[in-house]
Amino acid sequence: YNETKPCELADYFKLAPLATNPNLEPCQKASGWTMLPPSGYPTPAQLEVICKNQQCLALLDAVKATNPSDCVLVFNDVRLNVKKVAETSCKA
């Protein structure tokens, strides 16, 4: 996964509908990980919760459905490859 290529503006717009996804707030609350705005990559402890929580799994599916680009979203000093998070977070 690309950890250096900044995402283009279109990539941000593609992900914007996730801000109103009904699973976002419950997943963030349950896991302690903030996806929007991103707090960074989830920790192993947060991933353990995310990968067992139905709302988090549904949220990851919604992210995958946007077909995110292989690039890094930059929010202030936080850099996050959304494609990497969506595709690798809950792989066995």
Domains along the chain? 9-88 (1.10.239.10)
Single pTM value for the model: 0.91
> What pLDDT band is residue 91 in, cutting at 50, 70 and 90?
confident
Express each pLDDT in 24-78 by its tens digit: 999 999 999 999 888 999 999 999 999 999 999 999 999 999 999 999 999 999 9
Cα distances (angstroms) measured from residue 72 to each of 7, 10, 39, 75, 80: 5, 13, 13, 10, 5
* Mean pLDDT lowest among 4-8, 18-22, 63-67, 88-92: 88-92
